[in-house]
């Protein structure tokens, strides 16, 4: 008389176990995907051959939405930049 209920309870338990197994497989697959993405990012960054400073500059430009190239020359001290600008202005005055 209760055979049908017992059978349905058994089916519910099997399905719960299957759902739990599927959740575990999903978590494992998501972790493998994350590891693969991280490895790809590291490989891509390594292929750029940038110094840490250049990489930071590049990432900042990308974050700000700028479309430009990263300078491969070391950054200048602001005082040197002003001096260079001043020298260029003087040269232009004589031309």
pLDDT of residue 89: 57
Q: What is the pLDDT of residue 14?
A: 97
Question: What is the predicted pLDDT for the residue at 1?
Answer: 79
Count CA atoms within 13 Å of residue 64 on its CB side: 9
Residue 73 phi/psi, 5-degree rounding, is -95, 150
The rounded average pLDDT for each run of 10 residues, N- to C-terminus, in the chain (95 residues) is 94 97 98 97 91 91 74 57 55 55
Domain spans, the chain: 3-94
């Amino acid at each position: 008389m209760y055979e049908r209920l017992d059978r349905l309870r058994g089916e519910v338990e099997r399905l719960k176990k299957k759902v739990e197994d599927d959740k575990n497989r999903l978590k494992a697959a998501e972790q493998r995907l994350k590891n693969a993405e991280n490895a790809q990012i590291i490989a891509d960054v390594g292929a750029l051959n940038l110094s840490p400073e250049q990489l930071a500059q590049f990432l900042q430009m990308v974050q700000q939405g700028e479309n430009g190239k990263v300078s491969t020359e070391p950054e200048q001290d602001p005082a040197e930049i002003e001096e260079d600008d001043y020298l260029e202005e003087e040269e232009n005055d004589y031309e």
